[in-house]
């Protein structure tokens, strides 16, 4: 803030020594706000998170919000990392959502479970290096692979967990955008790899390879939707699929494999007309609910919700259903993962702490598949409206 | 679920009469899960939301999650609906985020505040009508405007608040996708208008105008990113802008207007290379944090985060900054807006209940502008990494 | 050019009084070039287009290029404007292309012909009006519909053929992009409607409704691909479809309807992964060849090639195939349509001159459908490579 | 065609032994068409291309089309491959186009010329391999790099010129799309590399690595616009840039560097609103005109017109302008390059035959830069309409 805010009549949120994370300070801040706004905040105050634990996760804390938590399952996952049957926590206020995912999960479990695989497991930062001319930019791009080892040493000097795996260049006029791809262990890792990339970029400038750089070019699509994400690298690329016998599909969703394939076709036309990125029914619903429950960076849903759902008839006229999530940015350490209810929710999945991120990613992708199938069933069978009337908030009032 | 799940060895989450929303039932379900998974969930259990209030918002409830709540402000908004100075609640676990938005808000307030306007205020459902041939599809599209009054009567017969404002057709081969655009008062309104559109579509079939329809074509881009969203109609289109004198910009962000304009240019290249939709730094961060705090449908961030941030030099070399959010799906009634902490947070903004959605939208858009400016400052000045080290979780350990 | 080019050592292409379109001047220019470059251009010189006719179509003429012309057909079209059997001229150097389209055309004719419809018939210019603040922009957008009649009068005062049909606004920050949609009779009409729009925009400025404007905002996507085009307005939106009995499909393409539907599905995944706009196999091939033959503005292929091909099984397991071309910018008057071979080619289709553009559009769209089907057959049956070896240039050498 | 077309009343274009490329056969075919359609085709008949040379480039030939050819220049190019001053042939019927490009070329030459570089020089085919489950797909993708040498041997066994440089995988559900990237020497090379890729793919199937494949997945975006193209690989990625002193810009375009930068900014908003791919004013115009003149596959304009034009102020307030063309599919051998006027036009540029494709690419990209600048000048100065009235076909009639 500026030095003279107060004299300019700006009433800042109260400032405290060491940022104000003690219980008293949090209460004082909240009470100041209550007086200032003339509102009462008893439920915000009813926070079960120790205030000092909030340091590093939020500023100007005044308490906590609460959101209902439901559970959907069982979900059988046959992954490379996740091998078991799970009950998945969803934090949401959208009626019918948990029931919908649960329906898909039970069906998938009945069909033998979901096969899931992590295909790519990196995160990416894309700085931009700018030059006097296209000739200089081209020369830089051509020479860069030769600096890989030095860049790796520089980048990794800033982090215990991040590992630089690959660099790729994109010449754009007289600028060069470089993708620095890292493995980030079990962290989402953006802060980690931005710092590493800044260091490596500074090395390039200090050694005369480029006159200047910006650590962000905008290309990495962190927390944004883009076509770039489909190529992988920004978070985990995960696929999850299952073969669902026609009888199982009929039993749970009251539709046939061919009907669901036709629905895919028809709604693809809508996606094309919308100039959408990828194709899916509602990845954002499941991702958001699980991310909130499990202490993920929820804003990453903007990129994680890009993907492709697919339905195919098998040779036996059963259904093969799959989801491809090219940019699933999830973590089991760091960020909000260790805070209060988040740690409990990750623990429900056996995914709390180090070494669990890939497992968690496979469970999430498998859950998303369940949600796609259930929604596909509701749309195809024409039950979408009635399901929301049964479970949702705006159901008809009975006397 | 299917009748014989249990005999198939599938252990469903416990079932209760009337879905199980009593305190005892919620506890029983949670304890079943604790036993089943061998975990303890004390913080999930420490829910302050009365369990019966969860009905309609979630199924299989086991408690609540808690997320830290901080406050950013003051933010002066000069809107058509919002006219005042606000302190905005953010629920997040991403360190530095609240501080970053706060910085932008104070600067904007110092500069005289944000001008905000709601340009479009509708929500949309896009059913698909399918025909035998392109000739039939073309004829249907040509005739449809003549049925508008009848469609309106049908659609509005299902809802007290939804009003059908406009229909548009898109012929795609032998199908026709029709955009039904409604005003939904202060609700997000998807369930409302899906039901209304289903009724209107059934009328078209019953009266021989079309042989069949699907109520969802995929075009509306609910909870997905797409180019279609830029044209408006899916939620509120809101613009927010401010003129920021060069001296104010320097004082708060330590940059010049020209530097920020150049940053816009450079990072636009990255967005173009990524084939992104629109251009923004991190709408998803602010939207997610406010949506969680205020009981919005958080999954709508997938569409709401599509937009365009712009920076221009004025004739006097000051900065004009703006954000355009074409698909801001927000509500002050319905969904999760009345639940526990959500109602308190909306009340902090004077946006609780009917008649407040447009005001809320202007405050949200103005907050997003603050976040864009602050991030732009951090990127341009090179302070991004240091800011995250000061406030974030992975700051260097001091002995 | 600048006054002192010559003194700067720049050797301009020879200048002539009245631009130099006489036969002697064209020859003189060509001979200057031959001397300058040390090349001989006998075939360029062998032009059959009277040089004076080139005025208005090209500058610095030195002769003509020649491209082989082939014919594909018969193609039965059952359109609203085109009702007959056509032989369609293709100018191309890509071996196998004419044969491929011909195969599709004969099959479609055998199946009873193509049904085609022009759904939208306009062209669009999108000027941008810029303001001091988002408030002014919003007010302008709100008021603009009230000026429609005045804008129409202004716009139409500049043209005999253009008719302003609709205006739509898109607020983007403190700017407003306005779509001016016109019917342009049988001309492509861009120059016509840019001039009309400039006049109307000047009226808005002169009357104090906006401080300034640019006649081009970039949104109209003239000669570029974009999602905007899918919504129609930039040229004709045309659909063409046909039901093809399974036996006919097998006879001509050696595939089944189900195989082609599966191919659509599989290659859709590739389109999604590429973040393509729409879906098609090779619209650009047919459009380019017909556009060159018929004197169209060939650069419009960049927008005209955006579209959606669709394949569906009918209830009887026959195939319904369709193409949707949302931005088919074609003309039968103006531009190059009356020049030499162009007029002859249009005449082959009965589409020469006024009143024929919609007919031409239906024939073009029907031809594109033929090409899609034939390519689909080649891909599905695995004959693509062998077909190109039979007809293409790089066929294996026989001794 | 089917055996019984004639009995079904379908009048095929006349068939000849050995496809009918003799002068008599071409005449006979043309005369049949003239009789059938009741039209006269004297200019089509006035073809200077020896009919036998058409074999491999077209089927059912009836003559040639002619299009006016103009020349624009001088254009100074300082490339890695093109180093000289060029006069560039344009075949077009769009009035003012040649003059516009010429203006930009002379200005660029005056400013010292265009620096151009070929960054990537490959072409790509993307077959799809499909599996029983996502597990199999993931395993295939993981193992594929180990087969690179074998794939290269197989692929290159089919071609003298194609060289397999790289393979990349994209897992999509239970399918894997593999990008086979080749250098194709001076040919556009699609037929060459499709054949090579088919062979390599067959090897994978024959050796049990995949059960089936399609040689086309749709991802390569041949002759379509897509975001994928921006990443390079489909044709040459070429950048061309120049520094233009403010005085030179003013002299030729009557604008300042800052005005052009502001125009870039404003029209970028329009591109964003349109959800365009990349950013450019009219690449398609120049590409089409040069492609037609020089015997390129003109339909490739659909992909080649994707790119990014950029304008930046230098530290001295001069202008740096650049174009980035990520998918410039050009050739100097094969296809139509050796036919009649095409060979003459390539010779004008010193680009006829083997070893010249990279040079040609640099000249084309430099020409495109000239066109962007000239259009930018016309738009910025408000002279667009008047320029088209001076040179275009719909200029006002003088008595």
Q: Classify strands C61-79 and C114-125 as parallel, antiparallel or unpaired.
A: parallel
Contacts of D170 in chain A (CB under 8 A): 230-232
Q: What would the pLDDT profile of B210-241 be if each residue is shown by its tens digit?
A: 999 999 999 999 999 999 999 999 999 999 99
C383: distance to nearest CA of chain A, Å?
23
Between CA D292 and CA D278 the distance in angstroms is 24
- Residue identified by tokens 């139409």 is C156
Which residues of B are designated catalytic? 94, 297, 388
Report d(CA C349, CA A366) in Å as an integer: 56
Strands (E), A207-269: 212-214, 235-244
State the Cα–Cα distance between residues B322 and B344, nearest whole angstrom.
29
Nearest chain A residue to C259 by CA distance is A313
Q: Does A161 touch chain B (CB under 8 A)?
A: no
pLDDT range class, residue A397, cuts 50, 70, 90: very low
What three-state secondary structure class fits D197? helix
Residue C242: closest CA among chain B residues belongs to which residue? B133
Average pLDDT, chain D: 95
Q: pLDDT tens digit string along B181-199?
A: 999 999 999 999 999 999 9
Condensed to tens digits (0 to 9), the pLDDT of residues B149-179 reads 999 999 999 999 999 999 999 999 999 999 9
d(CA C116, CA B138): 9
Mean pLDDT, rounded, for A63-76: 98
Q: Does B322 touch chain C (CB under 8 A)?
A: yes
What is the mean pLDDT of the segment spanning D21-27?
Answer: 98
Which of the residues B111, B173, B218, B328 would you substitute to probe the C interface, choosing the one with the greatest number of C C-beta atoms within 10 Å? Answer: B173
Question: What local confidence, expressed as pLDDT, does residue B398 receive?
Answer: 38
CB atoms under 10 Å from CB of B289, counted, come to 32
Report d(CA D245, CA C138) in Å as an integer.
39
Residue of B nearest to C178 (CA): B231
Q: What is residue C233's DSSP assignment?
A: B
Residue A48 and residue B49: Cβ atoms within 8 Å?
Answer: no
Q: Which CA distances in Å does C91 have to A186, C68, C108, D57?
A: 58, 6, 22, 10
Nearest chain B alpha carbon to D230: B273
Looking at residue D54, its pLDDT comes to 97
Look at residue B3 in the predicted model and tell me its pLDDT: 64
Cβ D278–B268 below 8 Å, yes or no?
Answer: no
Residue A67 to residue B336, Cβ atoms within 8 A:
yes
Chain B residues touching C243 at Cβ < 8 A: 133
Report yes or no: A145 at the D interface, CB cutoff 8 Å.
Answer: no
Looking at the DSSP bridge assignments, the partners of residue D78 are: D83, D115
Count of helix runs (H) and strand runs (E) in chain A:
13, 10
Measure CA A333 to chain center.
Answer: 14
pLDDT tens for each residue of A114-156: 999 999 999 999 999 999 999 999 999 999 999 999 999 999 9
Specify whether the CB–CB gap between B114 and B315 falls below 8 A: no
Give me the pLDDT at residue D393, please.
Answer: 57
Given this model, what pLDDT does residue C271 score?
Answer: 98
Q: Least CB-CB distance to A273: which of C230, C269, C273?
A: C230
pLDDT confidence tier of residue D397, bands split at 50, 70 and 90: very low
For residue C153, the Cα-to-chain-centroid distance in whole angstroms is: 29
In a 13 Å sphere around the CA of A254, the CA atoms on its Cβ side amount to 9
Residue B145 touches partner C, C-beta closer than 8 Å: no
Q: Which chain B residues are closer than 8 Å to A279 by Cβ? A: 218
Backbone angles phi and psi of C304, in degrees to 5 = -70, -25
Among chain C residues, the shortest Cα distance to A277 is held by C275
Distance from CA of D116 to the nearest CA of C (A): 20
Q: Looking at the complex, report in whole angstroms how far the Cα of residue A238 sits from the nearest Cα belonging to chain C.
A: 15
Q: How far apart are CA C231 and CA C50, in angstroms?
A: 41
Across the interface, whether the CB atoms of B126 and A289 are under 8 A apart is answered no
Q: Which of chain B's residues have a Cβ under 8 Å away from the Cβ of C310?
A: 172-174
CA proximity to C103, closest of C238, C240, C329, C255: C255
Catalytic residues of A, which ones? 94, 297, 388
The alpha carbon of residue D215 is apart from the nearest alpha carbon of chain C, in Å, by 8
| Full DSSP string of D34-79 | HHHHT---HHHH---S-GGGGTTT-SSEEEEEEEEEEEEEEEEEEE
**Residue D188: which of D357, D359, D56 has the closest Cα?**
D357
Q: Which two tokens stand for residue A43?
A: 């439920």
β-pair type (D175-183, D114-125): antiparallel
pLDDT above 90: residue B261 = yes
- Cβ-nearest to C174 among B116, B171, B320: B320
- Chain C's closest residue to D227, CA to CA, is C275
Of D227, D261, D308, the CB nearest to B269: D308
Residue among C372, C349, C373 nearest C74 (CA): C349
Of C133, C138, C241, the CB nearest to B173: C241
Q: Does B173 touch chain C (CB under 8 A)?
A: yes
pLDDT at A381: 87
Q: Does C179 touch chain B (CB under 8 A)?
A: no
Task: Specify the pLDDT at position A5.
Answer: 82
Task: Look at residue D229 and tell me whether its pLDDT is greater than 80.
Answer: yes
Question: Does position B263 have pLDDT exceeding 80, yes or no?
Answer: yes
**Residues A225-260 pLDDT 10s:** 999 999 999 999 999 999 999 999 999 999 999 999
Compute the distance between CA of residue B277 and CA of residue B255 in angstroms, rounded to an integer: 27
* pLDDT, position D389: 76
- pLDDT by residue (tens digit) across C69-116? 999 999 999 999 999 999 999 999 999 999 999 999 999 999 999 999
Tokens linked to B297 = 């449908």
Counted across chains A and B, CB pairs separated by less than 8 A come out at 509
List of chain C residues with pLDDT < 70: 1, 3, 393-399
Instruction: Taking each helix axis as running N to C, give the angle between helix B148-156 and helix B190-206, from 0 to 180 degrees, rounded to the nearest 10.
Output: 130
Beta-bridge partner residues of B382: none
C161 is annotated as an active-site residue: no
Cα A296–chain centre separation: 7
D353 in contact with chain A, both atoms CB, cutoff 8 A: no
Q: Which residues 245-284 in chain D show a CB within 8 A of chain B?
A: 261, 264-265, 268-269, 272-275, 277-279
Q: What 3-state class would DSSP assign to B167?
A: strand
Place of tokens 């001509």: C252
Query: Nearest-CA residue of chain D relative to C170?
Result: D273
Catalytic (active site) residue D271: no
Contact check, Cβ <8 Å, C138/B171: no
How far apart CA A358 and CA A381 sit, in angstroms, is 35
């Amino acid at each position: 803030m500026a030095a003279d805010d107060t004299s300019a009549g700006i009433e800042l949120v109260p400032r405290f020594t060491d940022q104000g994370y003690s219980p008293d300070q949090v209460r004082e801040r909240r009470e100041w706000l209550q007086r200032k706004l003339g509102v009462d905040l008893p439920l915000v105050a009813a926070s079960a998170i120790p205030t000092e634990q909030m340091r590093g996760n939020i500023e100007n804390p005044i308490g906590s919000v609460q959101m209902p938590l439901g559970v959907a399952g069982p979900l059988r996952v046959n992954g490379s990392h996740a091998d078991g049957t799970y009950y998945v926590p969803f934090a949401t206020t959208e009626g019918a959502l948990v029931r919908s995912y649960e329906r898909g999960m039970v069906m998938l479990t009945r069909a033998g479970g979901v096969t899931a695989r992590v295909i790519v497991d990196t995160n990416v930062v894309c700085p931009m290096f700018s030059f006097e001319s296209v000739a200089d930019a081209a020369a830089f791009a051509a020479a860069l692979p030769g600096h890989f080892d030095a860049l790796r040493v520089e980048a990794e000097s800033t982090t215990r967990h991040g590992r630089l795996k690959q660099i790729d260049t994109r010449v754009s006029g007289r600028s060069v955008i470089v993708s620095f791809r890292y493995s980030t262990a079990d962290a989402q890792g953006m802060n980690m790899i931005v710092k590493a990339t800044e260091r490596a970029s500074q090395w390039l400038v200090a050694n005369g390879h480029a006159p200047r750089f910006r650590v962000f070019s905008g290309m990495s699509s962190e927390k944004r939707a883009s076509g770039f994400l489909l190529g992988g690298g920004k978070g985990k690329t995960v696929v999850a699929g299952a073969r669902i016998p026609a009888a199982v599909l009929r039993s749970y969703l009251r539709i046939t494999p061919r009907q669901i394939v036709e629905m895919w076709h028809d709604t693809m036309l809508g996606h094309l007309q919308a100039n959408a990125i990828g194709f899916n029914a509602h990845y954002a619903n499941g991702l958001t609910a699980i991310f909130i429950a499990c202490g993920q960076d929820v804003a990453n849903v903007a990129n994680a919700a890009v993907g492709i759902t697919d339905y195919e008839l098998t040779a036996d006229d059963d259904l093969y259903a799959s989801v491809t999530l090219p940019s699933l940015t999830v973590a089991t350490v760091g960020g909000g993962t260790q805070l209060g209810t988040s740690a409990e929710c990750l623990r429900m999945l056996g995914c709390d702490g180090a070494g669990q991120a890939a497992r968690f990613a496979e469970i999430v992708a498998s859950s998303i598949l369940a949600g796609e199938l259930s929604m596909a069933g509701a749309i195809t069978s024409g039950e979408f409206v009635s399901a929301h009337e049964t479970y949702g908030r705006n159901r008809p009032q009975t006397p």
